[in-house]
Amino acid sequence: MVTYVTVPVGPKIVVINHCDSVSDEELIKAVAAFARQVNEHFALPPPFGYGIGARFRIGAAPLPDEWALVLHKGSPDVAGAAAYHDLTETGCPVMHIFPDADKADGQAWTVSATHEILETLVDPNVCTVVQAPDGRFRPKEVCDSVEALSYLIDGVAVTNWVRPLYFEPAGARTDDLANLDYMGKVTHAFEVLPGGYEQVWDPVSGGWIEHFNAGATPRTYRVARKRVGLSRRARRSRRVQ
DSSP letters spanning 129-161: EEE-TTS-EEE--SSGGGTT-EEEETTEEEE--
What is the model's pLDDT at position 223? 54
Residue 220 dihedral angles phi and psi, to the nearest 5°: -55, 125
Rounded to whole angstroms, the Cα distance separating 133 from 190 reads: 10
Residue 236 has pLDDT above 70, yes or no: no
Q: Among the ranges 5-9, 102-106, 205-209, which has the highest mean pLDDT value? A: 102-106
Q: pLDDT per residue over 177-229, tens digit each?
A: 568 999 999 988 899 999 898 888 887 777 788 778 766 555 554 555 444 33
Rounded to whole angstroms, the Cα distance separating 21 from 85 reads: 21
Residue 232 has pLDDT above 50, yes or no: no
What is the model's pLDDT at position 79? 64
What is the model's pLDDT at position 213? 77
Rounded to whole angstroms, the Cα distance separating 128 from 138 reads: 9
Q: What is the mean predicted confidence (pLDDT) over 88-100? A: 89
What is the model's pLDDT at position 181? 95
Q: Are 54 and 10 in contact (CB under 8 A)?
A: yes
Rounded to whole angstroms, the Cα distance separating 39 from 116 reads: 15
At residue 160, what is the residue type? N
Residues paired with 162 in a beta bridge: 181
Q: pLDDT per residue over 15-70, tens digit each?
A: 999 999 999 999 999 999 999 999 999 999 988 999 999 999 999 999 998 999 99
With cut-offs at 50, 70 and 90, classify the pLDDT of residue 176.
Answer: low
